Chains A and B, each alone.
Chain A
Amino acid sequence: MIGNDIVDLALARKESNWKRPGYLDKIFTQNEQLLIATAEDPDIMVWNLWSRKEAAYKIYNRATGVRGYFPLNLVCVYENTNSGSVLCNGYTYYTKTEIVKDKIHTVAVTDKIDFEMVLELGTEITMVKKKGIPFLAEEKTNSLKPVSLSHHGRYRALIGLK
Protein backbone atom coordinates (compact mmCIF):
# COMPACT_ATOMS: atom_id res chain seq x y z
CA MET A 1 0.00 0.00 0.00
CA ILE A 2 0.96 3.59 -0.50
CA GLY A 3 0.56 7.07 0.95
CA ASN A 4 2.12 10.41 0.17
CA ASP A 5 2.23 13.92 1.54
CA ILE A 6 3.48 17.25 0.23
CA VAL A 7 4.39 20.37 2.18
CA ASP A 8 4.94 23.72 0.49
CA LEU A 9 7.40 25.34 2.90
CA ALA A 10 6.39 28.85 1.91
CA LEU A 11 2.75 28.17 2.74
CA ALA A 12 3.63 26.23 5.89
CA ARG A 13 5.58 29.23 7.19
CA LYS A 14 2.54 31.40 6.56
CA GLU A 15 -0.09 28.99 7.89
CA SER A 16 1.65 27.52 10.91
CA ASN A 17 3.73 28.82 13.75
CA TRP A 18 5.29 25.68 15.21
CA LYS A 19 7.13 27.80 17.77
CA ARG A 20 3.83 28.52 19.43
CA PRO A 21 3.91 27.23 23.06
CA GLY A 22 2.52 23.70 23.31
CA TYR A 23 2.49 23.13 19.55
CA LEU A 24 5.35 20.66 19.25
CA ASP A 25 4.29 18.74 22.38
CA LYS A 26 0.94 17.90 20.79
CA ILE A 27 2.37 16.35 17.65
CA PHE A 28 6.01 15.32 18.13
CA THR A 29 7.53 12.79 20.54
CA GLN A 30 10.46 13.77 22.77
CA ASN A 31 12.86 12.10 20.34
CA GLU A 32 11.38 13.95 17.37
CA GLN A 33 11.58 17.24 19.26
CA LEU A 34 15.25 16.54 19.92
CA LEU A 35 15.79 16.04 16.18
CA ILE A 36 14.11 19.40 15.55
CA ALA A 37 16.07 21.21 18.27
CA THR A 38 19.41 19.94 16.99
CA ALA A 39 18.67 20.24 13.27
CA GLU A 40 20.65 22.61 11.12
CA ASP A 41 17.35 23.98 9.83
CA PRO A 42 14.62 23.25 12.44
CA ASP A 43 11.91 24.57 10.12
CA ILE A 44 12.69 21.97 7.46
CA MET A 45 12.96 19.22 10.09
CA VAL A 46 9.47 20.04 11.44
CA TRP A 47 7.87 19.67 8.02
CA ASN A 48 10.06 16.74 6.98
CA LEU A 49 8.88 14.75 10.03
CA TRP A 50 5.31 15.98 9.62
CA SER A 51 5.10 14.87 5.99
CA ARG A 52 6.34 11.39 7.04
CA LYS A 53 3.61 11.13 9.68
CA GLU A 54 0.95 12.26 7.23
CA ALA A 55 2.07 9.89 4.46
CA ALA A 56 2.12 6.98 6.93
CA TYR A 57 -1.27 7.96 8.34
CA LYS A 58 -2.79 7.71 4.87
CA ILE A 59 -1.76 4.05 4.66
CA TYR A 60 -2.87 3.36 8.23
CA ASN A 61 -6.25 4.95 7.54
CA ARG A 62 -6.72 2.92 4.36
CA ALA A 63 -5.61 -0.35 5.96
CA THR A 64 -7.55 -0.10 9.22
CA GLY A 65 -10.41 2.24 8.35
CA VAL A 66 -9.50 4.23 11.49
CA ARG A 67 -9.84 7.99 11.13
CA GLY A 68 -8.53 10.33 13.78
CA TYR A 69 -5.93 12.82 14.89
CA PHE A 70 -3.12 11.01 16.68
CA PRO A 71 0.24 12.34 15.45
CA LEU A 72 1.98 11.17 18.63
CA ASN A 73 1.07 7.57 17.79
CA LEU A 74 2.85 7.94 14.46
CA VAL A 75 6.45 7.66 15.59
CA CYS A 76 9.23 8.64 13.18
CA VAL A 77 12.36 6.52 13.03
CA TYR A 78 14.73 8.97 11.36
CA GLU A 79 17.63 7.53 9.38
CA ASN A 80 18.57 10.61 7.40
CA THR A 81 17.05 13.55 5.51
CA ASN A 82 15.67 11.25 2.83
CA SER A 83 14.75 8.02 4.52
CA GLY A 84 13.32 6.37 7.58
CA SER A 85 10.21 4.64 8.83
CA VAL A 86 7.11 5.45 10.82
CA LEU A 87 5.70 3.13 13.48
CA CYS A 88 1.99 3.20 14.28
CA ASN A 89 0.21 0.84 16.69
CA GLY A 90 2.31 -2.16 15.70
CA TYR A 91 2.57 -1.36 11.99
CA THR A 92 5.74 -0.20 10.25
CA TYR A 93 5.71 2.06 7.20
CA TYR A 94 8.84 2.92 5.22
CA THR A 95 9.33 6.46 4.00
CA LYS A 96 11.33 8.26 1.35
CA THR A 97 11.46 12.03 1.46
CA GLU A 98 12.57 14.37 -1.28
CA ILE A 99 13.29 18.04 -0.69
CA VAL A 100 13.48 20.29 -3.73
CA LYS A 101 13.44 24.04 -3.15
CA ASP A 102 10.30 24.67 -1.08
CA LYS A 103 8.80 21.26 -1.72
CA ILE A 104 8.97 18.47 0.85
CA HIS A 105 7.49 15.28 -0.54
CA THR A 106 7.27 12.01 1.38
CA VAL A 107 6.15 8.68 -0.03
CA ALA A 108 5.31 5.90 2.44
CA VAL A 109 4.95 2.20 1.63
CA THR A 110 4.22 -0.98 3.59
CA ASP A 111 7.02 -3.01 1.96
CA LYS A 112 10.38 -1.54 1.02
CA ILE A 113 10.25 -3.30 -2.34
CA ASP A 114 7.21 -1.19 -3.24
CA PHE A 115 9.43 1.89 -3.61
CA GLU A 116 10.43 0.47 -7.00
CA MET A 117 6.78 0.26 -8.01
CA VAL A 118 5.82 3.83 -7.18
CA LEU A 119 4.23 5.60 -10.09
CA GLU A 120 3.48 9.29 -10.41
CA LEU A 121 0.09 9.67 -12.10
CA GLY A 122 -1.21 12.47 -14.25
CA THR A 123 -4.45 14.33 -13.83
CA GLU A 124 -6.11 12.49 -16.71
CA ILE A 125 -7.07 9.50 -14.56
CA THR A 126 -10.52 9.03 -13.08
CA MET A 127 -10.35 9.18 -9.31
CA VAL A 128 -13.12 7.98 -7.04
CA LYS A 129 -13.34 8.30 -3.28
CA LYS A 130 -14.72 5.71 -0.91
CA LYS A 131 -15.16 6.92 2.69
CA GLY A 132 -12.77 9.74 1.82
CA ILE A 133 -10.07 7.33 0.57
CA PRO A 134 -9.03 7.82 -3.08
CA PHE A 135 -8.94 5.08 -5.73
CA LEU A 136 -8.10 5.08 -9.39
CA ALA A 137 -10.93 3.74 -11.53
CA GLU A 138 -9.56 1.53 -14.29
CA GLU A 139 -12.13 1.49 -17.03
CA LYS A 140 -10.59 -1.36 -19.00
CA THR A 141 -10.72 -3.84 -16.17
CA ASN A 142 -13.51 -2.10 -14.25
CA SER A 143 -11.42 -2.26 -11.08
CA LEU A 144 -10.26 0.10 -8.37
CA LYS A 145 -6.59 0.67 -7.56
CA PRO A 146 -5.41 2.50 -4.43
CA VAL A 147 -3.88 5.90 -5.12
CA SER A 148 -2.73 8.68 -2.84
CA LEU A 149 -3.34 12.35 -3.49
CA SER A 150 -1.58 15.22 -1.80
CA HIS A 151 -1.89 18.93 -2.36
CA HIS A 152 -0.41 21.89 -0.51
CA GLY A 153 0.23 25.40 -1.79
CA ARG A 154 1.92 25.30 -5.17
CA TYR A 155 2.50 21.57 -5.17
CA ARG A 156 0.43 18.48 -5.77
CA ALA A 157 1.15 14.81 -6.35
CA LEU A 158 -0.94 11.81 -7.25
CA ILE A 159 0.81 8.49 -6.88
CA GLY A 160 0.00 4.81 -7.19
CA LEU A 161 1.77 1.47 -7.52
CA LYS A 162 2.59 -0.25 -10.80
Chain B
Amino acid sequence: MNKEETLLQLRNIVKPYINNEEAFENFTEDTDFITDLNINSANLVDIILDVEDHFKIHIDNESMEKMIDVKSTLEIIETKLAKKR
Protein backbone atom coordinates (compact mmCIF):
# COMPACT_ATOMS: atom_id res chain seq x y z
CA MET B 1 0.00 0.00 0.00
CA ASN B 2 1.47 3.38 -0.94
CA LYS B 3 1.04 6.65 0.89
CA GLU B 4 -1.68 7.93 -1.44
CA GLU B 5 -3.81 4.86 -0.82
CA THR B 6 -3.33 5.10 2.94
CA LEU B 7 -4.27 8.77 2.83
CA LEU B 8 -7.44 7.95 0.91
CA GLN B 9 -8.41 5.19 3.32
CA LEU B 10 -7.78 7.47 6.30
CA ARG B 11 -9.93 10.12 4.65
CA ASN B 12 -12.84 7.66 4.52
CA ILE B 13 -12.32 6.67 8.15
CA VAL B 14 -12.33 10.29 9.32
CA LYS B 15 -15.33 11.38 7.23
CA PRO B 16 -18.18 10.53 9.66
CA TYR B 17 -16.63 12.65 12.42
CA ILE B 18 -15.82 15.91 10.63
CA ASN B 19 -17.52 19.22 11.42
CA ASN B 20 -16.00 21.34 8.67
CA GLU B 21 -16.89 20.28 5.11
CA GLU B 22 -14.72 22.90 3.47
CA ALA B 23 -11.55 21.80 5.26
CA PHE B 24 -12.46 18.18 4.53
CA GLU B 25 -12.56 18.96 0.80
CA ASN B 26 -8.90 19.90 1.11
CA PHE B 27 -7.89 16.81 3.06
CA THR B 28 -4.09 16.60 2.86
CA GLU B 29 -1.15 15.52 5.00
CA ASP B 30 -1.21 18.96 6.60
CA THR B 31 -4.81 18.67 7.82
CA ASP B 32 -5.30 18.87 11.59
CA PHE B 33 -8.16 16.82 13.04
CA ILE B 34 -9.05 19.37 15.69
CA THR B 35 -8.20 22.81 14.36
CA ASP B 36 -9.09 22.16 10.69
CA LEU B 37 -11.80 19.50 10.71
CA ASN B 38 -13.27 20.59 14.08
CA ILE B 39 -13.54 16.97 15.16
CA ASN B 40 -14.78 16.59 18.72
CA SER B 41 -11.98 15.27 20.91
CA ALA B 42 -14.24 12.49 22.20
CA ASN B 43 -14.51 11.27 18.60
CA LEU B 44 -10.74 11.00 18.18
CA VAL B 45 -11.05 7.71 20.07
CA ASP B 46 -13.44 6.48 17.39
CA ILE B 47 -10.96 7.39 14.68
CA ILE B 48 -8.21 5.54 16.54
CA LEU B 49 -10.42 2.45 17.00
CA ASP B 50 -11.53 2.62 13.34
CA VAL B 51 -7.89 2.86 12.22
CA GLU B 52 -7.05 -0.18 14.38
CA ASP B 53 -9.94 -2.18 12.91
CA HIS B 54 -9.35 -1.14 9.32
CA PHE B 55 -5.59 -1.70 9.18
CA LYS B 56 -5.60 -4.55 11.72
CA ILE B 57 -2.98 -2.86 13.88
CA HIS B 58 -2.71 -2.00 17.57
CA ILE B 59 -2.18 1.62 18.51
CA ASP B 60 -0.39 2.00 21.83
CA ASN B 61 -0.88 5.03 24.07
CA GLU B 62 2.41 6.59 23.06
CA SER B 63 1.40 6.58 19.38
CA MET B 64 -2.09 7.76 20.22
CA GLU B 65 -0.63 10.94 21.76
CA LYS B 66 0.47 12.14 18.33
CA MET B 67 -2.69 11.30 16.41
CA ILE B 68 -4.09 14.81 16.19
CA ASP B 69 -3.23 15.39 12.55
CA VAL B 70 -3.12 13.47 9.28
CA LYS B 71 0.65 13.48 8.94
CA SER B 72 1.38 11.87 12.32
CA THR B 73 -1.45 9.40 11.85
CA LEU B 74 -0.10 8.28 8.46
CA GLU B 75 3.37 7.83 9.97
CA ILE B 76 1.98 5.70 12.78
CA ILE B 77 -0.07 3.55 10.41
CA GLU B 78 2.97 2.98 8.20
CA THR B 79 5.25 2.12 11.12
CA LYS B 80 2.74 -0.34 12.55
CA LEU B 81 2.08 -1.94 9.16
CA ALA B 82 5.81 -2.32 8.54
CA LYS B 83 6.20 -4.18 11.84
CA LYS B 84 3.48 -6.61 10.81
CA ARG B 85 5.22 -7.63 7.62
Residues of A whose CB lies within 8 Å of any CB of B are: 12, 15-16, 20, 22-23, 26-27, 50, 54, 67-70, 72, 132, 152
Contacts and interface: CB of A to CB of B under 8 A. Distances in A.
Contacts of B68: 67-69
Chain B interface, >50% SS class: helix
A70 B45 CA distance: 11
B42 A50 contact: yes
B64 interface: yes
B67 A69 contact: yes
Contact of B43 (A15, A54, A70): A15
Nearest to B42: A16
Nearest to B62: A70
Interface residues of B, number: 17
Interface of B: 35, 40-46, 48-49, 52, 61, 64-68
B44 A69 contact: yes
A70 B42 contact: no
Given A15-B40, A54-B41, A69 B64 contact: yes
A160 B40 CA distance: 22
Given A68-B66, A69-B68, A72-B61, A26 B45 contact: yes
A68 B66 CA distance: 6
Given A15-B42, A152-B40, A23 B65 contact: no
Nearest to B40: A15
Contacts of B66: 68-69
A72 B45 CA distance: 12
Contacts of A23: 45-46, 49
Contacts of B65: 68-70
B49 A70 contact: no
